Structure 1
């Protein structure tokens, strides 16, 4: 909507009215009219008239002219309330543009499988490049601290602020994806994030690093936030679990591969920490270019808007439009959906406990950015690069976890079809039940075998189990929230995203002083104890989940 249109609407809705003198000034006749006589067409009531009779009509009660502050400043005349002879007629169904049936190939869910796979892969790579940036900085924190003469804990704030940005960004990008579509709400923010990656690489002081890291994450959170919505556009519940497994790998791939590559860069004296950021920006640029070329819009309402626009131009029937175009975007509505409603959902037992558990596991994953170097570099004496290699074990464990989730999808499909093609949330939980046991045990195993007198493969196996447990819990939790809250799924995912970013931001700051003060074993036991306390969560919801869902207004729609 143009600025002039906004002005006109604001002016006609203003409660204040002008005096008669102001009215006559605004409607000064452009030409004389003998006797003030006009045709009926000129007095149709749908546009201002400049004759004496027209002025008398506008001065009657109910037709007072008004001016807003903006109109006064701009010295622009106001206009009467807009109307039209057909304004009170409702839109007929024949004028609404929709898909041509459930099998319409234009619908994203009916796209060819190769296009679905390529779209998922590209969005996954964009997501991985964003999460890569969250961890690539960690390998160079010692060099940052040395260059700018600050403590290591201060330098670690670069990672913490990045993860804070990851938590704040979804509050903007999630609503934008439902207004402007997935593609714009992901690719444009990622371009800005790339600019901040290069800005970090060229920073001349610590303040610039911290600011650019935060805003880089704020914009880079767009693909992390909206890729789940893309998968919902492309896949039915019967196939979404497999796609989510691939997406979860992208979420894990960045934090596990980033430190390894960055450590190799930092180990070269002619490169240093700045090249970890240059490399991040280059990687993000290449992936973004591929995404711009090959990714198409997948948000069904936006596709229907494009279809309606093409039909209007082809047929000349300007009444044709998509239902989405009737939506008057409201800031209050978007705020309620992505700010207020997530908080309301967190007051329900399912959303609170499941999101809390997934967020705790996500925080543990980022805690390893500080824990792995302490165990393998400081305690075992490995080199800068080799001490980051155990992250591969977390990645391999995550691949195993993805395999478990995919296997569960086939079992889920049987329950899904048996229920009349309706989601059965509790059937998403078996991988989470297995992963909860593996995850809790892995933290004790890694912590208490960190000493050099224990073979290095033992803590590495512990990290492998951490990756397996994380992926099974993380993906199952996301699927369970989507199936449970259905029409409120976007709000539930927003609550989960914000909460997990808070955990991920805090844990890297905690791990170093905790391990150095009380030891790796006792420190890991604290986190392992919390993980064990969360083990009953999936078991409780597997048994009582349907009853709990039925008792909440947010989730009772998923009960049948």
Structure 2
């Protein structure tokens, strides 16, 4: 049988009973021309074909894991006073425990994102989250501030994997038209965790002797719960790895008399080491060469860092100037939490609009997601200016607390919408794209608390808060810019989704959307079709290559 011929391979006859499907794989099954394994139309090992219940349970699990690491970033801040006293250290050194933890958030994804694209989401998650669990013991039983700070940094690095890999898992399981709410919940946890931390931590710190250590035990317990559930219930979702495993299984079941290879392996021409180095460099490459990633990183970073600056601002405004207790200071974050929940409740509005566009046009461009981000861009500075000029002790505290509603609404809408936009735009590259965003936002979030207390001391509550508001104003044009010119920007990228309507911005509808790499493959295949003697089997092989995006520089 010639290389170009196609042999029919029935999955149900060669694989476990979970595959009661039939499919025709291209190839002849020889070592030189193996059967090419890809997903089928109704392939229930494809994460996107799992039951909705299973996908939602897994979405909630990875979102809870994300909430947990974010919760630990701020619950620590509620016991800084007693911690400083018990460990005989300064408040400045105690504050450093917040910054180094968030700094770890920025560094970890640079390693975990490329590893997940080589070895899968589950393996990397368990390998990083298990030591994250143990590092909380440094605060729970540590005898000096050095131990606390070092283990806080290591916990931030190890716990950062959900910040990018969870987004990749959601992208693996949900199609673009179905992932709006899932992305909203995942992104909400990134912000909801830091806000809920001071509420819980504040009451624990003031209710128990050495309550700040109990906060670390709470972090330890929540992390242990995540590891336990994930070990037994979290499956692999990364399609290239799943297809590779299927190919190995089919080949083994044939007694190695037939050869199988996944579509991703066929298009891969580099070693694992080269791929790792490539994937390790990609977040920085994106920041340097992709305007969409750079602007999104800076804008999301501003929103995220401003939230962490509030962990310094609120104790000053409500504790130092209004004489609230630790528990009462924690309750002032309820305004922000209410705004975040409003953002979550409103997510079906954007989702329905997106689905309507898909039903109307068949497929739409990613820019159609940006309406919520535009609302958030306005709400964020409104909330900041509101807080700034109602922060005086002579003004009722409830007025400044209510300012957290537009602030919380704005931060969530900006982050969730832009995260979904990046997932749609960069598809299989989304883990690296999200790693770039997490890196920038974490660097900013680590820096803002360090100079915030000095700003409030030098400028006063009103003007110090206004500085953050003016920075937020500078970012307002970003989602509007993407909405109008996002298609044109994507058309210049070899990694981003590319459609025939890109020059029309959000007015386009995205029929025939592909990446530039896919477009090049299609042009090449079109030229090959004109060659004399090419048969139907080779055409089918080309079609496989045309429809898959793989990580490439």
- Please classify the TM superposition score into its range, dividing by the shorter chain length: 0.7 to 0.9
CA shift, 1:144, in A, is 2.3
Q: Report whether the alignment pairs 1:366 with 2:308.
A: yes
* 1:308 equivalent in alignment to 2:247: yes
Determine whether 1:224 maps to 2:166: no
Cα distance change of structure 1 residues 294 and 537 upon mapping to structure 2, 3 Å threshold: same
- 1: CA distance between counterparts of 2:271 and 2:102? 30
Q: Is the 8 A contact 2:205 2:212 kept in 1?
A: yes
Which residue in 2 is equivalent to 1:420? 362
- After TM superposition, give the deviation of residue 143 of structure 1 in Å: 2.0
User: Is residue 2:438 matched to residue 1:528?
Assistant: no
Q: Flag the 1:541–1:304 CA change in 2: closer, same or farther, 3 A.
A: closer
Does the aligned pair in 2 maintain the 1:439–1:466 contact within 8 Å?
yes
**Corresponding residue of 2:218:** 279
**Contact preservation (8 Å) 1:129, 1:280:** yes
Instruction: Give the C-alpha shift of residue 299 in structure 1.
Output: 1.5
Query: Alignment RMSD, CA only?
Result: 2.0
User: What's the counterpart of residue 403 of structure 1?
Assistant: 345
The residue matched to 1:519 in structure 2 has which SS?
Answer: helix
Map of 2:480 onto structure 1: 539
Equivalent residue for 2:281, pick from 339, 344, 350: 339
| Equivalent in the alignment of 2:183 | 244
Deviations 1:13-47 (A, max 9, x none): xxxxxxxxxxxxxxxxxxxxxxxxxxxxxxxxxxx
The 8 Å contact of residues 76 and 98 in structure 2, kept in 1 or not, is answered as yes
1:444 is paired with a residue of what secondary structure?
helix
Per mean C-alpha deviation after superposition, the further-off stretch among 315-324 and 161-170 is: 315-324
| SS of the residue 2:235 aligns to | coil
C-alpha distance in 2, partners of 1:91/1:130?
Answer: 47
Shift in CA distance, 330/291, structure 1 to aligned 2, threshold 3 Å: closer
Determine the C-alpha separation between the residues in 2 that align with 1:406 and 1:365.
25
> Cα 1:558–1:164, aligned 2, differ >3 Å: closer, same or farther?
farther
Alignment of 1:21-36 (within 5 A): none
Could you tell me which residue of structure 2 aligns to residue 58 of structure 1?
Answer: none
Q: Is the 8 A contact 1:179 1:329 kept in 2?
A: no
Q: Which residue of 2 aligns with 1:17?
A: none
**1:479 and 2:420 aligned:** yes
User: 2:97 corresponds to which residue?
Assistant: 158
State the partner residue of 1:70. none
Alignment of structure 1 residues 88-487 onto 2, 5 Å: 91-94=32-35, 96-99=36-39, 101-317=40-256, 319-323=258-262, 329-421=271-363, 423-487=364-428
- CA separation in 1, counterparts of 2:359 and 2:274? 38
TM-score of the superposed pair, with normalisation by structure 1: 0.79
Deviation at 1:369, TM superposition (A): 1.3
Call closer, same or farther: CA 1:347–1:309 in 2, change over 3 Å: closer
Deviation at 1:345, TM superposition (A): 3.9
> How much does 1:270 deviate?
2.1
Structure 1: tracts of 5 or more residues without a match: 1-88
| Corresponding position: 1:502 with 2:453 | no
Q: Which is worse superposed, 495-504 or 282-291? A: 282-291
Larger radius of gyration between Structure 1 and Structure 2: 1
- Check 1:296–1:341 CA distance in 2 against 1; reply closer, same or farther (3 A cut): closer
**Counterparts of 2:419 and 2:284, CA distance in 1:** 14
The structure-2 alpha-carbon separation of the partners of 1:277 and 1:410, relative to structure 1 and needing over 3 Å to count, comes to: same
Counterparts of 1:454 and 1:486 in 2: how far apart (Å)? 49
Contact 2:168 2:430 in 1 (8 A): no
Deviation of the 1:168 alpha carbon:
0.5
Asked whether the equivalents of residues 404 and 472 of structure 1 are also in contact (C-alpha less than 8 Å), the reply is no
Residues 189 and 477 of structure 1: CA distance in aligned 2, closer, same or farther (over 3 Å): same
- Unaligned 5+ runs, structure 2: 1-29, 502-553
Rounded to whole Å, the distance in 2 between the matches of 1:236 and 1:224 is 20
Q: Contact 1:342–1:492 at 8 Å: present in 2 too?
A: no
1:517 aligns with 2:454: no
SS in 2 for 1:238: coil
The one-character-per-residue Cα deviations of 1:504-532 (angstroms, maximum 9, x if unpaired) are 11111122121122111100111101111
Offset of residue 393 of structure 1: 2.0
Which structure has the higher relative contact order (CA within 8 Å, separation 6+)? 2
Q: Closer, same or farther in 2 for the Cα pair 1:91/1:401, shift >3 Å?
A: farther
Contact 2:128–2:159 (Cα < 8 Å) also in 1: yes
1:125 CA drift (Å) = 0.9
Count matched residues: 469
Shift of 1:322: 3.8
Deviation at 1:122, TM superposition (A): 0.7
Give, in whole Å, the separation in 1 of the partners of 2:335 and 2:388.
15
The structure-2 alpha-carbon separation of the partners of 1:329 and 1:461, relative to structure 1 and needing over 3 Å to count, comes to: farther
TM-score, length basis structure 2: 0.80
After TM superposition, give the deviation of residue 216 of structure 1 in Å: 0.8
Within 2, Cα distance between the matches of 1:257 and 1:555? 35
Which range moves more in the overlay, 187-196 or 397-406?
397-406
